[in-house]
Structure 1
Amino acid sequence: MKKFFAAACAAAFLLSSGCSAMPLESSSETLIGSVPPAAEPLRNIPLNYSEQVGMWLPYVRFPEIMQGKSEEQFRNAVAELLQDGAAESVNTLYFHAHPNGDAYYRSEIYPDGAFLDGNYDPLRIVIEEAHKLGISVHAWINPLRLQTEEEMSALPDDFIIKKWINEGEPYVKAVNGRWYLAPAYAEAVGLLEDTVGEILDNYDVDGVHIDDYFYPTTDEDFDREAFESSGSTDLEAWRTEIVSRYVKALHDTVKSRDNRLLFGISPQGNIDSDYSSQYADVRQWGRGEGFCDYIVPQLYFGFENECCPFLPTLAQWEELVNGGVSLIVGLAPYKLGREDKWAGAAGELEWINDSDIIDKQIAAVKESSADGYALYY
């Protein structure tokens, strides 16, 4: 797993201090509601930091570290990844526990994830190895996204999602060959609450994290029946309310277990797109009204991006987030060395021509009012 970090160091993009960054035990970040990491490797007291240096571990990486691996091989791969991260001051891991209506943990609700072909519990191993190093673990879930139609056909008929499909219930809908929960229905939101509750009741995670798949489509047919029966006349406003309702339900489920646990949201960095394509009311969420503890906008833009240049977009998020919500800036080292075809002519080659771009963005974040940053490789 060293290549996740070694390649970054070679390109000089991880931290403003380079690959000799200060390790966690020497860091000045303040622990939130925890004891010193060495005192209790796996604890019931949530381990969190007032200044996050986060890292996503998405399911698309699981074939490399999990598929076809024994429990020992998986544990070693995770330990190596986390040790490399800790050496670069990473103190928070967002682990993809529930990406596609499945589970990379022991679940009585969902089937195992497609890349879990060994008889072990990935989430438990991740928590054990992370807490040894004083790294916080947030269970990352995609609330609405489920299996493809082909994958669903192979699952047992007693899987709750498949039962709903077979019974013709409106709580799930197919979009472009994949199933999604329809969040306008209380049954779907209840399942989301059960999903988070199952994780929190069985694992010593330090928080829960959701990303930017807030709504699967802008197609009016997706939830036409529910909209027409609602009495509302504004589809966009209605969907925005629906999204905030289930986001708050997830937040409240987390807090009902332990108020010290954190709930975080990672929306798109383009605020206009959050509203127009995802129905995500990020302005409301960022005001500290009980929707999240931290927000991680994905500022995956170069300084020369013609749509959302990094510095002005960072300033927009600084203005948006207040009232007790922490702003963690999502950065995109995965784009290094690649063309950015969505950046316009001025920014298309920026990630190729400027190997120090992440370095510079971290420096800008440290000069801003943000409370940290997170890296997507």
Structure 2
Amino acid sequence: MKRNGLLAAAAFLLTSCTSEPPHSLITPFSAVTAEANSKPKALPEPLVREKQPQVRGVWLATVSRLDWPPVSSINTSNPVLRATQQKLALREKLDKLQRLGINTLFFQVKPDGTALWQSNILPSSDMLTGRIGEYPGYDPLQFVLNEAHKRGIKVHAWFNPYRVSVNTNAATVAALDRTRSQHPASVFVLHRDWIRVASNRFVLDPGIPQVRDWITSIVAEVVKHYPIDGVQFDDYFYSESSDSALNDSQTYKAFGQGFNSKADWRRHNTELLIEQVSRTIHQLKPHVEFGVSPVGVWRNLSHDAAGSDTRGAAAYDESYADTRRWVQQGLLDYIAPQLYWPFSRSAARYDVLAKWWANVVATTNTQLYIGIALYKVGEPSSKEPDWALEGGVPELKKQLDLNESLPQIQGTILFREDFLNQPQTREAVDYLYSRWSD
């Protein structure tokens, strides 16, 4: 989670591994207990689950038009022709996914503070037209649902909950301000007091209760009005960087009473959102699945006896997402950790993390799908050379073989769709076709 440099940098921050345990912006380091040095426990017997087909999924990103819609369509002055081009491009992608054996599409419907559906809460996405709030001439989510379902492909609506924009440039501010006269207008102008800057983006402050209610209402709108198969949140919860931290001191002062630290309060806020969204989805349509795709490391063993034997950026400490607890509390129908490293990456071995997550879900009713790094396949790397060996096929095969060997893992999701079409992944895609295609 790279055509866009800003997005690539964000993905690197969230998925990179260092030789030392990460130092959180807020969470203090905790002492290593004796239990942390003990041998990993054997996987418990999995719960008896209803047999479901293995998920063979792919993420399709619309932020910065990474996978869709085609940039060329935005340069088309004729709105009818633009919509035709976008529909044709999406049909072609779905045809290819069907041939490949993909059965689940994770379609990004909320890349920022805009919508790729007909919303009464969010303005239409400028990803479709180049201008926030301009109607694209059709309903993208309904279109993808119709076309995917015809091909036997399930669709999960993928939301970035808190991001309002991908930058804070003057042009972005002007574009957001121009929505003031629209209906609906951007949250940027309707609730300016909810907006903060973090990682050089405009984001919503997760500590404000009305923000969580507002996000829940957005999810509810989609669940109510569209025949989606699932809802997914990505890994951007408290997303900040050392040079652009989220300033939520006043929010903490207003709402953080009773917590020993801001870090604990932040994790509580994130869990409240997950619990509220989960409850709302299942009240509206119990069959619609709710899942999260977090950073692959929950916590490192050096920080927590229950953590994985890794040295990577951790969701618990960096984005204040206690993803392991959400599974244990039964808040998720599925979890799809991003395990974007090879078997040979000692700081975050693929097999170590896959087995750790299998252990987490083993005695729960939460399904486990593994996100793998298609975007790295075929790319030369001094730290991860296995991705380029023989077109990345041996590494990809090992990861898929492990996934299928562990009964707790019910599927694999590729990040991301456009890399199925790149020359460096051709051998890997051919391998996937031979393995997955009926």
| TM-score normalized by the length of structure 2 | 0.69
Match of 1:121 among 125, 139, 145: 139
SS of residue matched to 2:248: helix
Q: Which residue of 1 aligns with 2:116?
A: 104
1:257 shift after superposition: 1.0
- SS of the equivalent of 1:292 reads coil
- Shift, 1:367, TM fit: 0.5
- Does the CA contact (< 8 Å) of 1:143 and 1:214 recur in 2? yes
- In structure 2, distance between residues paired with 1:210 and 1:221: 20
User: For the residues of structure 2 that align with 1:359 and 1:152, how far apart are their CA atoms?
Assistant: 46
Aligned pairs, number = 322
Residue by residue, what CA displacement relative to the aligned partner does 1:284-311 show, whole Å, maximum 9, x if unpaired?
1222x34110000001111111211111
Amino acid at match of 1:161: V
1:226 maps to 2:238: no
Tell me the CA shift for residue 329 of structure 1: 0.7
Instruction: Judge conservation of contact 2:70–2:89 (CA < 8 Å) in 1.
Output: no
**Aligned partners of 1:329 and 1:83: how far apart in 2?**
24
How far apart, in 1, do the equivalents of 2:180 and 2:260 lie? Answer: 37
1:245/1:351 CA distance change after superposition, 3 Å: same
Give matches, 1:298-337, under 5 Å. 298-322=338-362, 323-337=364-378
Q: Percent identity?
A: 28
Compare relative contact order (CA 8 Å, sep 6+) and give the higher one, 1 or 2.
2
Q: What does residue 218 of structure 2 align with?
A: 195
SS in 2 for 1:144: coil
1:64: how far off? 2.2
Aligned partners of 1:210 and 1:264 also within 8 Å: yes
Give yes or no for contact 1:53–1:90 (8 Å, CA) kept in 2: yes
Secondary structure of the 2:93 match is helix
CA separation in 2, counterparts of 1:176 and 1:374?
26
CA positional deviation for 1:61: 1.3
Structure 2 distance, partners of 1:312, 1:290, is 24
Equivalent residue for 1:87? 99
Match of 1:316, SS?
Answer: helix
Aligned to 1:62: 68
Q: In the alignment, is the contact (CA less than 8 A) between 1:100 and 1:146 conserved in 2?
A: yes
The alpha-carbon deviation at position 49 of structure 1 amounts to 5.3
Which residue of 396, 408, 424 corresponds with 1:358? 396
Residue aligning to 2:413: 374
Q: Output the CA distance in 2 between the equivalents of 1:221 and 1:75.
A: 38
* Contact kept? 2:113, 2:186, Cα under 8 Å: no
Matches within 5 A, 1:267-286: 267-272=294-299, 273-286=314-327
How far the C-alpha of 1:325 sits from its partner, in A, is: 0.2
Match for 2:401: what amino acid? A
Whole-angstrom distance in 1 between the partners of 2:88 and 2:283: 34
Distance verdict in 2 for CA 1:328–1:64, change over 3 Å: same
Q: Which amino acid aligns with 2:353?
A: T
Corresponding residue for residue 45 of structure 1: none
SS of match in other structure, 1:120: coil
**Equivalence for 2:420:** none
Q: 1:216 to 1:115 in 2, by over 3 A?
A: same
2:424 match: none
Task: Give me the whole-angstrom Cα distance separating, in 1, the residues matched to 2:388 and 2:323.
Answer: 31
Structure 1 residue 176: Cα displacement: 4.4
Kindly provide the amino acid, as one letter, of the partner of residue 182 in structure 1. D
Matched, 1:161 2:164: no
Cα 1:291–1:152 change in 2 (3 A) is farther
How far apart are the structure 2 equivalents of 1:350 and 1:359?
A: 12
Segments of 5+ residues of structure 1 without an aligned counterpart are: 1-31, 33-47
2:155 to 132, 137, 140: 137
- Quick check: 2:361–2:367 contact (8 Å CA) kept in 1? yes
| Alpha-carbon distance in 2 for matches of 1:202, 1:334 | 33
AA paired with 1:334?
A: Y
Q: Is the 8 A contact 1:248 1:290 kept in 2?
A: no
What do the CA deviations read for 1:288-347 (whole angstroms, capped 9, x no partner)?
x3411000000111111121111111111111123100000111111012244xxxx6x4
Name the counterpart of 1:174. Answer: 197
Aligned 1:286-297 pairs, distance under 5 A: 286-287=327-328, 289-297=329-337
- Cα offset for 1:142? 0.2
- 1:74 deviation in Å? 2.3
Residue 214 of structure 1 and its aligned partner are, at CA, apart by 1.3
- SS in structure 1 opposite 2:399? helix
Cα distance in 1, alignment partners of residues 357 and 161 from structure 2 = 24
* Secondary structure, aligned partner of 2:354: helix
Q: Structure 1, residues 194-223: CA drift from partner, whole Å, max 9, x if none? A: 110111222111111111001122777621
Hey, what's the Cα distance between the residues in 2 that align with 1:274 and 1:221? 16
Return the alpha-carbon distance in structure 2 between the equivalents of residues 311 and 126 of structure 1.
34
Whether the 8 Å CA contact 1:82–1:130 is kept in 2: the answer is yes
Give the TM-score normalised by the residue count of structure 1: 0.80
- CA distance 1:236–1:146, change in 2 (3 Å): same
Q: Please give the alpha-carbon distance, in whole angstroms, between the structure 1 residues aligned to 2:264 and 2:103.
A: 37
Letter in 1 for 2:283: S
Shift of 1:63: 4.2
Amino acid aligned to 1:235: K
5+ residue gaps, structure 2, are 1-49, 130-135, 300-313, 417-438
Whole-angstrom distance in 2 between the partners of 1:131 and 1:243: 32
Judged with a 3 Å threshold, the aligned counterparts in structure 2 of structure 1 residues 221 and 107 are, in CA distance, closer, same or farther, namely closer
Aligned-pair CA distance for 1:361: 0.9
